Each structure stands twice: as structure tokens, then as C-alpha cells.
Amino acid sequence: MKPVDPVYPYGPACAKGVIKSSPADFVVIEELGFEPSGEGEHLLLQVEKTGMTTADLIRRIATDYSMHPRNIGYCGLKDRNAVTTQWLSLHLPGREVNVIDPADDAYRVLRASRHRAKLRRGTHKANSFHLRIRGLGECNDNCLRQLDAIQSQGMANYYGRQRFGRGQDNLEQALAQLSATRVKPMRRSMLISSLRSHLFNSVLARRISQDCWQRPLAGDVFMLRGSRSIFSTALDAALQRRYAELDISSTASLYGSGKSLLSGEALQLERRVFDENDAITACLDRHGARLQMRALRVPVEDLDYEFDKVRRLLELRLRLPAGSYATVLLEHFMHAVETG
């Protein structure tokens, strides 16, 4: 079983380019969305890293601060072949420590402050990106129209290909391993996440294919822009206006236990997708995943782009909410080749 092929709302990608030819071509800055409290058992570090995964960074920080990696919290996983800035929380109760300046260039601590709580996955508000796409010789008018459409109408909020493993075989592995063997908690969580992501992506692709992505359906649950707050209400002129202005967007279920929040036409569409993937839903039922909701589209904040025809270089600056993927945005208008 392979992940669903995404369907994008503004037509097929019409360009091809190279991303991550060097770490400096893919710059990511994690935004917490709140200020550290200044006191508490946790030391929050804002860290810039290059050429290492978040897991590598956590192991290195654990060594440098003589602590166990499980006592280090983080908000999100960041790319290896990139220059990324992210926050970590170090649980150091009753322990005064000096911020360590590493002897090599593995990472840099930009800021440090005490805080009352451990950072958890998804705690942060957004990520800012500065991307350079090289060798883009086919950035024609259609490509630029697609970028303008993303700017004005938002992007389809697919889970990125990295959710499904290097060989895109996480779904097959999940169905085999979760059914037959005992799996370590971290591995189990990753496999369950892959299954739920596939179901969500399938619902999103179906809605785009059926031309009901940029309009609400009867029975939809809506998510407020810039927050995770959800609500349901009747479709009226005021809601239609808010929808067109990207103030709210429809959601779909991240499959799990609990009564569906959807109803009517939206629920029927989603149930058809789940019925077509009954092996996945049965596996998730056995493992007790909890129902959540995710927006089907997201506005792209502060999107700005510049194309240099002579250098065949496209530069993008943008901001996405936590949990959305810059690589997915790129797939709306181009086929990206990653060299790193």
C-alpha cells in the first residue's frame, strides 16, 4: 500500500527545481507564540543547528548538559539539510547551569530562559521560511499564477511525504508490525501517525477532486484562522463570506476513537474514504488512536517571492502554522529535486 497521490487545487505542477543544494537554501525559524515565563524547572533554549536532525541535536544537548534525552522537550522535528532554529526545554529542577557554548559548530544557543513547563509536540505557533529554489528554468506565467493563487487562496494542508518514510512504505510496515509484533512506543507512535496521515490526505484529495475544497459542505466543522479552535454552524451568507476571506476553513478527522464531529454531506464523504481503507481503520481501532481535527487548507502568511530569470533562482519567504509543510507548498507549483 502506497500513500495517496496528492491532488493540488491550482492545476498540475509546471516547473522543476532543486531545493536544499546547501543548508542555507532552506532556512526555518520556529516561533513559539509565547514568551518563556522566566522561572520554573525547565531551561528553554533557542538553538540554531545545521546539518543535523532534531534527534541528533537532542542527543548532543543531553551530552553537553549531562542529562537524559527523555528530559528534553521539543515542539517539532526540523530538517537535517537546512539551517533551522528551534526551541528545546531542558528539565533541570533545582539545578543552576551556565549556558554551554559548544566547542564545534554543531549548534548555537541564541537565547536561554527559564520556564514552568516542558515543551510538547505542536506547542509552537508557526514556522517562518526563507527558501531558495535553483535551476528553475520553467517558471512561466502559469507557475506564477499558481503562486499568486496560493498567496490569495491558501494551500492544501496535506501531510508531507516525510510522514511516510524514505521508501514511502510506512503504511505497509505499519499494517504488518502493528498487527503482528510488539513495537517500541516511539516507533508505534510514528506508524500510527502515518496511517492517520494517509486517511487525512485521502479525504483532502477527494474534496479537491470533487471541487469542494474551496467551499464549505453541509455538516462541516470549521477551524478559526490562526488557532486550533473549532466549531460547527449552519451555512449562511456570513459564514460563506468568512470562508472566502480565509477567516475559517473546513476540517477533516484525524481518525481515532470518539464520535465524529462532522455530519451531513461532509461526514458521508469522509466515511466513504474510511470504508475504502478498512484495514487501516481496523488497525487504528485496535491501537486506540484519539479523534482530532485538522484544517483542510491553511492561509500562507507573509508570502513573498522573487524570480531571477538570469540565475534561474526563485526565492520564497513565507510563514506557515505549526504542522504544515513548506515542501507541500512547493508541490503546488513545482516538482522539487532534493540534492542534500
Nearest to 77 by CA among 229, 186, 151, 204: 186
Helices 278-287 + 264-276 axis angle, to 10: 90
Angle at 212 between CA 124 and CA 229, to 5 degrees: 30
164 is written with which cell numbers?
A: 511516510
5, 25, 64, 79: the catalytic one is 79
- Across 75-198, where does the E strand assignment appear? 83-91, 107-115, 126-134, 155-156
Distance of CA 30 to the CA centre of its chain: 12
C-alpha 278/C-alpha 199 separation (Å) is: 10
**How would you classify residue 94: left for phi > 0, otherwise alpha for psi between -120 and 50, otherwise beta?**
left
Catalytic-residue membership of 105: no
Phi/psi at 99 (nearest 5 deg)?
-65, 130
DSSP letters for 217-240: -TT--EEETTS--EE-----HHHH
Nearest to 285 by CA among 263, 255, 261: 255
Task: Give the β-pairing of 107-115 and 72-74.
Answer: unpaired
Could you give the C-alpha distances from 194 to 160, 200, 255, 284, in angstroms and in order? 10, 10, 11, 11
Q: Cell 487501516, residue?
A: 280
H or E element at residue 305: strand 301-308
Nearest to 89 by CA among 148, 46, 147: 46
- Residue positions annotated with a catalytic role: 79
